């Protein structure tokens, strides 16, 4: 009889790929999929995420987006080797307003923040470096009670990019942003919740239920109203609020089929069925 130890098989190592993308019943899910490297983002991942965001913006059937990771960590940030290479390629004599070679990461994060439908970050584990901004770009963050975060920019000698600084300060407050950026200290889940980084803290076995519940609430709202108000609120947070554009979104909502449906459903005491028109 063969020795059991000799015939035991090693569990297969999950294959690392570009971010995985699925759509089901109006909910798009993007999953970072490099678990062996704690979902560290490579340049090709950044390009794929940017492509997916463009696809989502075009697909009006998508009402909500969930961003998550494979394995025990949500994300470990941008590949430091790629960051170093981009630094080496910089021309020392270039003017100050010339974009950095790795600006694709910053642009990708901005595209996530500006994404048409509302977004939920499903923090399946801890979050580090640039991935903290990736999660912060989402409208909502739900994380497990064992997760932690740190932003090591000051340890690396890196001044963070402009809109990342704005996101941290506007969403978490200047004091919390200073603590994270200037000290590089690690924050645990309760503190992440206290400063507003996490909207909800749950146990690992409650994570999917909490995310699905919030996704269902968001998907049930009138899409044009949600998308327009999200845009106005983000502009206001960045001190880029455009009153005329916001007034136009308001006026368009008054003329929309969704507004009529919402009012009728309210009076008839039924759930509305929004079309996004």
Could you tell me the CA-to-CA distances from 34 to 15, 20, 68, 136, 250 in Å, in that order?
8, 10, 12, 20, 42
The rounded distance, in Å, linking the Cα atoms of 238 and 131 is 20
Judge whether 265 and 272 are in contact, CB under 8 Å. yes
Between 162 and 88, residue with greater pLDDT: 162
- Return the CATH number of the domain spanning residue range 10-91+98-218: 3.90.226.10
Judge whether 276 and 261 are in contact, CB under 8 Å. no
Domain limits, the chain: 10-91+98-218, 222-268
Strand order in the sheet with 64-69: 20-24, 27-32, 64-69, 119-123, 140-144, 200-202
What's the pLDDT at 7? 43
Judge whether 55 and 92 are in contact, CB under 8 Å. no
The rounded distance, in Å, linking the Cα atoms of 44 and 48 is 6
Q: What is the pLDDT of residues 164-182, one digit of tens each?
A: 999 999 999 999 999 999 9
| Most confident of the following: 88-92, 119-123, 158-162 | 119-123
Judge whether 143 and 123 are in contact, CB under 8 Å. yes
| DSSP classification of residue 138 | S
Around 179, how many Cα atoms within 13 Å sit in the side-chain half-sphere? 11
Backbone angles phi, psi at 162, to 5 degrees: -55, -55
Q: What is the pLDDT of residues 125-156, one digit of tens each?
A: 999 999 999 999 999 999 999 999 999 888 88
The rounded distance, in Å, linking the Cα atoms of 220 and 272 is 8
Provide the pLDDT confidence category of residue 76 given band limits of 50, 70 and 90.
very high
């Amino acid at each position: 009889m063969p020795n059991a130890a000799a015939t035991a098989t090693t569990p297969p190592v999950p294959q690392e790929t570009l971010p995985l993308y699925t759509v089901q019943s109006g909910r798009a899910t993007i999953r970072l999929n490099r678990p062996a490297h704690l979902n560290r983002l490579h340049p090709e991942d950044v390009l794929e995420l940017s492509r997916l965001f463009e696809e989502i913006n075009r697909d009006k059937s998508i009402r909500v987006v969930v961003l998550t990771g494979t394995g025990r960590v949500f994300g470990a940030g941008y590949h430091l080797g790629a960051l170093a290479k981009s630094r080496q390629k910089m021309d020392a004599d270039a003017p100050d307003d010339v974009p950095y070679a790795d600006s694709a990461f910053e642009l990708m994060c901005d595209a996530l923040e500006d994404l048409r439908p509302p977004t939920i970050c499903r923090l399946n584990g801890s979050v580090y470096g640039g991935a903290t901004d990736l999660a912060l770009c989402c409208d909502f963050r739900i994380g497990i009670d064992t997760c932690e975060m740190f932003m090591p920019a000051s340890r690396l000698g890196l001044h963070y990019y402009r809109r990342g600084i704005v996101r941290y300060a506007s969403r978490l407050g200047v004091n919390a942003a200073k603590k994270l950026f200037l000290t590089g200290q690690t924050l645990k889940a309760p503190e992440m919740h206290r400063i507003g980084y996490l909207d909800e803290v749950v146990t690992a076995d409650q994570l999917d239920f909490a995310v699905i519940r919030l996704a269902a609430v968001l998907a049930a709202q009138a899409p044009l109203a949600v998308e327009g108000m999200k845009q106005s609120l983000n502009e206001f947070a960045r001190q880029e609020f455009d009153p005329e554009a916001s007034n136009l979104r308001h006026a368009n909502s008054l003329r929309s089929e969704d507004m009529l449906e919402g009012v009728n459903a309210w009076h008839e005491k039924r759930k509305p069925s929004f079309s996004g028109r």
